[in-house]
Amino acid sequence: MYCALCKSSNQAEFNTEMMIHLSGVRNIDRPGVLMFPKVLVCMDCGFSRFTTPGTDLALLAGRIARTAASTRQRSVGAA
């Protein structure tokens, strides 16, 4: 596989730990999603990529849906 940025084949895969938080003040008290994806890093230019595992993707999608729904409810109630 070649780097999407510089086309180098000099890449390495690393185990990672990351916490994804939804942005914005309204999400300040919501917990993040802890993930452990493998990250592919180009050793020439530093471009990195990873794939979000299905269970973590479902957690993120659910939190985005709840945030969007709560935003809609607030704007309807404020009108």
Number of domains in the chain: 1
5 inside domain:
no
6 inside domain:
no
What b/e string do you get for 65-75 counting C-beta neighbours within 10 Å, with b at 16 or more?
eebeeeeeeee
Q: How confident is the model at residue 47 (pLDDT cuts 50, 70, 90)?
A: very high
16 inside domain:
yes
pLDDT score at 72: 53
72 inside domain:
yes
Domain housing 34: 11-78
CA dist 21 and 18 (Å) reads 10
This prediction's pTM = 0.68
Q: How confident is the model at residue 31 (pLDDT cuts 50, 70, 90)?
A: confident
Q: How confident is the model at residue 26 (pLDDT cuts 50, 70, 90)?
A: confident
